Amino acid sequence: MRALTAFALLLVAGCGASAGSGGEVACTEIGAPAGIGVDVAPREQGPQAEAATVEACWGGSCETVRTDLRPSTTAGPTSCTGEGPDAVCSAGVRETGGRNGFADIAGLPEQPVELTLTVTAADGTELARRTLTVTPAPVYPNGRGCPPQGPQAQLTVTADGEIRERA
């Protein structure tokens, strides 16, 4: 029990760390994988997207990763009970009709990469395909004062099947 209590105290102390008096920034161990994010808008008619395959090519070799797409969500209406610092507020989520996924690609470089994205329906019907060149950039899940994590790029598929890089 003492070990559990000590672990909990260390965990709380680590989570509450902030910039020290010397202006140093405390960085957590949170990470972000290298890869390609995919956001697919809902189609007005016909089958919806269920999977995406990303082929990434750089330095003379290619890696292909398939990812199942999950329902995209957004924050719903908020409600609050009470006022001031004692107020209790909540917000639900609602599905947007879109789908999203992430193709985890270890070793993805911070240099131009040729990507071919193929989006398919549950029955395997191809809904969209495009080859484009993108330059993955590092992400900073702990803020710019902490070391960067895996390079990523984000692709968006519009309702009419157009694929483009999201800035």
Helix (H, G, I), strand (E, B) or coil at 130: strand
pLDDT at residue number 95: 93
Average pLDDT score over residue span 95-115:
96
Query: CA–CA distance from 42 to each of 4, 8, 37, 97, 109 (Å)?
Result: 46, 43, 16, 5, 31
Determine how many CB atoms are found less than 10 A away from the CB of residue 56. 25
Q: Is 91 in contact with 77 (CB distance < 8 Å)? A: yes
Question: How buried is residue 87: exposed, middle or buried, by Cβ count under 10 Å (0-12/13-18/19+)?
Answer: exposed
pLDDT at residue number 118: 98
Write the pLDDT tens digit of every residue in 119-153.
Answer: 999 999 999 999 999 999 999 999 999 999 999 99
Write the pLDDT tens digit of every residue in 4-19.
Answer: 333 333 333 344 444 4
Size of the chain in residues: 167
Q: Is 145 in contact with 23 (CB distance < 8 Å)? A: no
